[in-house]
A and B are shown apart, each in its own frame.
Chain A
Amino acid sequence: MNWITNYVRPRINSIFSRRETPDNLWTKCTECGTMLFHREVSDNLNVCTSCNHHMAITPRDRFEALFDGGVFTEVDVPMPIADPLQFRDQKKYPDRMKAAQKATGEDDAMLVARGEIGRTPIIAAAQDFSFMGGSMGMYVGNAIIAAAEEAVKLKRPLILFSAAGGARMQEGILSLMQMPRTTVAIQMLKEAKLPYIVVLTHPTTGGVTASYAMLGDVHIAEPNALICFAGPRVIEQTIREQLPEGFQRAEYLLDHGMLDRVTSRTKMREELIAICRMLLGMTPPVAGDLPAPDPEDASAAPDTPAVDAPTT
């Protein structure tokens, strides 16, 4: 022990947020290894400018790029009871939750928002893979129900970005019960004749794929996203053979008829606007960058005839 090891960092340092002086101005592409300038990558929505690899993006960053002028209003999600099973593996579940909440700054693995894209009012929900693998527990179920109810209330389409390893084991059977639960939410949308578009991002697996992620009116995936029920490792262990190149990747699923489209993240917004507007019988979208809608409340925009459009 000497004074160097005992040295305590001056408190003032923590006042400046890390973002102002990022210690990593460079990001390494997880696929091709190219060093990329951090801002360049985030401007390109975390898509590698060199190899087009789609790296993970948080729901908040995605929404900022998706909504007109980056403006959106969060939709409240009711908090479920914490740790219903008093689950404990090597760590206690509440401790894992706290760590994930601290690391991400979010309540749980899904963010729901309302706003406009290309002047088209929508509800969006995005799953956060960085929060315990995006796993589907009661909160995610509540979020999808809240999103569907909001969409039905405001007569807007729902766009859902999925990303999850599957169900949240720490909630046991109650996570499994989110499969029928979220299916009920999707039925509400269908009965209200509102479009439900799923954007499947890397990775979407397990119980998530086997419920709300595969019940969309339109399924779009990001390039090379892993989309499956049972993961490749489990299958290789079961059938004891090597799986073909690209198995269970977005392009492979497109070939096998499970998806409508595979679309690059940088072109996704335009495509979502086009599809939503056509399904709702609205006029063609206005091209170009739109300013943010009226700051008061993006959700209150009453102008668009979402469901006055002919339905059949």
Chain B
Amino acid sequence: MTQYMEFEKPLAEIEGKAEELRAMARQGEDMDVSAEAATLDTKAKAMLEELYANLTPWRKCQVARHPERPHCADYLKAMFTEYTPLAGDRNFADDHAVMGGLARFNDMPVVVIGHEKGNDTKSRIDRNFGMARPEGYRKATRLMDLAGRFGLPVITLVDTAGAYPGKGAEERGQSEAIARATEKCLQIGVPLISVIIGEGGSGGAVAFATANRVAMLEHSIYSVISPEGCASILWKDSEKMREAAEALRLTAQDLKQLGVTDRIIPEPLGGAHRDWVATIDAVRKEIAAILVELGDMDGPALIADRRKKFLDLGSKGLAA
């Protein structure tokens, strides 16, 4: 059963009714409801199309954060083979908010790293809701370094509200850990591809997404600050998140125009959470295409490409 978002309430009603009809039919009463249910289905589909054709930035935030959206672990399972997790930062701990290790992508050995938010109370707590501590960034740095030395492409899956704001995280050097991960992204002579699959939250995302190519799912977001945070600072009212989401230009479509993201991966109708298989398949195709595109570049060329990309960023505005 899908969890509906607030703006989907009218849709929930229709889909609910169709479901009810079918349940009644299943209970054996000899009534033919299929025609009626089909009408409702068509109506629901039309409404879904209308809703998703023009999602406001705030609605996109809600879709990007939808708890049933496929998460890093789901991509690892469906998109890779021989996933072999590698744990720990060799300093302090293993951060469960960050998954990573060796795997094969279309038989090609790669290093994959991603934020994992968890999907029920227990796993969410274990994963710290996808908010990494310094150990997570240091693990990522270590894995990227490994990839660089053995010539394996790196694929990162970004899905985090941001780095964890906690006492221990600060004491152990959250900022330094993020800075070093960003630096490592820029140093490795292998293809680095980043896909923002849900939320790209601030510095916690940059540490993984300083990549040759950054792709975003259609309804994912990438922002310097959460709309709620921005609203409470600039509007002095955290309820102004709709306005803030609008102003921040955090949608994949705006970011493409600004040159921050290179590609937008289309999502199934109604968002990634409605069809995992199609979503993950689309991501797989995009990564494969980018790998081919980067295939001709050697190590120094890849490093130069990344540098140029980030040095040039910001020459485009929305007005242009």
- Residues of chain A touching chain B, judged by Cβ–Cβ distance below 8 Å, are 80-81, 83-90, 138, 141, 145, 167, 169, 171-181, 183-184, 186-187, 206-207, 209-215, 228-230, 234-235, 238-239, 243, 247-248, 256-258
Contacts and interface: CB of A to CB of B under 8 A. Distances in A.
B248 A169 contact: yes
Interface of B: 163, 165-167, 169-176, 178-180, 182-183, 185-187, 202-203, 206-207, 210, 222-225, 230, 233-235, 243-244, 247-250, 255, 258, 260, 307, 310-311, 313-320
A229 B174 CA distance: 7
Nearest to B317: A84
Nearest to A187: B186
Given A229-B174, A235-B170, A173 B203 contact: no
A222 to B, nearest CB: 17
A228 B170 contact: yes
Given A84-B319, A243-B167, A181 B176 contact: no
Nearest to B237: A90
A210 B203 contact: yes
- Name B's interface SS: helix
A169 B230 contact: yes
Contacts, number: 169
A86 B318 contact: yes
10 contacts: A172-B223, A172-B250, A174-B258, A174-B260, A183-B210, A211-B182, A214-B180, A230-B165, A243-B167, A248-B170
Of the listed residues B230, B244, B249, B250, the one surrounded by the most CB atoms of chain A closer than 10 A to its CB is: B249
Given A176-B223, A248-B170, A210 B175 contact: yes
Minimum-distance CB pairs A-B, first 10: A230-B165, A84-B317, A209-B175, A89-B234, A210-B175, A176-B224, A210-B178, A229-B175, A180-B210, A229-B174
Given A184-B186, A238-B166, 15 more contacts: A89-B235, A138-B314, A167-B202, A176-B224, A177-B206, A177-B313, A177-B314, A210-B163, A211-B178, A214-B180, A229-B174, A229-B178, A229-B203, A235-B170, A238-B165
Of the listed residues A81, A179, A206, the one surrounded by the most CB atoms of chain B closer than 10 A to its CB is: A179
A175 B224 contact: yes
Nearest to B211: A180
Contacts of A228: 170, 175
